[in-house]
Amino acid sequence: MLGQHLIEALKVRFPRARFVGIAGPRMVAAGCEAWEPAESLAVMGLVEILRHLPRLIGIRRRLVARLLADPPAVFVGIDAPEFNLGLAALLHQAGIPTVQYVSPQVWAWRQGRVKKIAAAVDRVLCLLPFEKQFYDDHAVKAVFVGHPLADEIPLEVDRFAARTALGLSADPCIAILPGSRHGEVSRLGADFARTIAWVAAHRPAMQFVAPMVNRRLRDEFAAFLETAGIAARVNLLDGQAHTAMAACDAVLLASGTATLEATLVKRPMVVAYRLNWLTTFILRLPGLVKSRFIAQPNLLANRRLVPEFVNEQVRPDVLGPALLEQIERPDRPELEAVFADIHRSLRRGASDRAAAAIVELLGEGHAAA
């Protein structure tokens, strides 16, 4: 999505520009020539990435060769910092302007990476307001552009229209989002399914919708629902995450960008995540992790707005009661007001601002490109 909207904004400024790289369907539709599918980078974790390392190194080696053979006017790495920053460093050494769009969570953990970032890229385009201050403090050029999701999602969503579109009754509803990657669904799917069973036993009238990113993950989660004996109670959707969130009363979801989406839709949520045991051990080493939170609304507010649970806490007897608390929380209007403030702070015309920052970079000694 970030790549799609950035390409569209850059095309306004450079109608004849050519776009190439790692791309998903939305970027391809916007005119990007896909040298690799975006899903080839859909790997998360520290230890979990090891078995994919030879393949990822091969992809990066091929990209470097092609880009050095036909140098682009600018290289933009979108998220995926462990992949993109190494690639950017090699291109930067060759004199190609480089940009990182979406800051690594360097403010949260492994802060020493800021030196690597400074050496690899000419600009960091930040989605979150506090990130620019961090880079300013470390003398790294950064621009706060806002978040495209905040531009895409309206400040007020029509709950009635969303419920009508999904064919829901007037009974309360919970949206379930176990993740957008295979690893997330495989680690969270069983506990999410059992949590649905727990809630259904305590609230028989509750409705459940689960928007899934693709057919593979839908089938995988459906198997967990079948095992938990709850498949008939859950309406599995192809996509439609925003509609599902808008229609529901609370959301159970994996930590990640979806927690920001739920914030922008102004819905209470319960956030969960599971990591490989060795990754968990590494992250618990003294001084490695600086952030107190994993959920985006908690990070942005710098306080615990919504409950978040990790590893051994992710189980039905914890998640189920937390969900019911979110549905029944008496301070819901105050929570929605905080979410609205966050939404407004991120609603900046991100894609246009990102494109303008790239144009400015090209004008700084790179006009020929």
Question: Is residue 190 over pLDDT 90?
Answer: yes
Question: Is residue 368 over pLDDT 90?
Answer: no
Mean pLDDT of the chain: 89
Which helix (DSSP H) or strand (DSSP E) does residue 99 occupy? strand 98-101
Coil vs helix vs strand at 211:
strand
Give the number of other CB atoms < 10 A from CB of residue 9.
Answer: 21
Section 38-52 average pLDDT: 68
- Express as a percent the part of the chain with pLDDT over 90: 72
More confident residue, 54 or 185: 185
pLDDT of residue 38: 84
Question: Is residue 43 over pLDDT 80?
Answer: no
Please give the distance of CA 24 from its chain centroid, rounded to a whole number. Answer: 15
The residues, ordered by sequence, that sit 6+ positions from 244 with a Cβ below 8 Å of its Cβ are: 162, 166, 175, 177, 209, 210, 211, 237
What torsion, rounded to 10 degrees, do the Cα atoms 79, 83, 84, 85 define? 110
Question: Is residue 367 over pLDDT 50?
Answer: no
pLDDT of residue 167: 95
The answer to which of 29-33, 40-44, 111-115, 156-160 has the lowest mean pLDDT is 40-44
pLDDT of residue 63: 92
Question: Is residue 42 over pLDDT 90?
Answer: no
pLDDT of residue 364: 74
Q: What is the pTM of this model?
A: 0.83
Rounded Cα distance, 263 and 338, in Å: 9
Coil vs helix vs strand at 324:
helix
The residues, ordered by sequence, that sit 6+ positions from 264 with a Cβ below 8 Å of its Cβ are: 149, 150, 153, 339, 342, 343, 346
Question: Is residue 99 over pLDDT 80?
Answer: yes
Question: Is residue 369 over pLDDT 80?
Answer: no
As given in the structure block, the two tokens for residue 288 are 């490695």
pLDDT of residue 279: 54
pLDDT of residue 288: 46
235 beta partners: 209
The answer to which of 170-179, 265-274, 295-304 has the lowest mean pLDDT is 295-304
- In this structure, what DSSP letter does residue 35 have? E
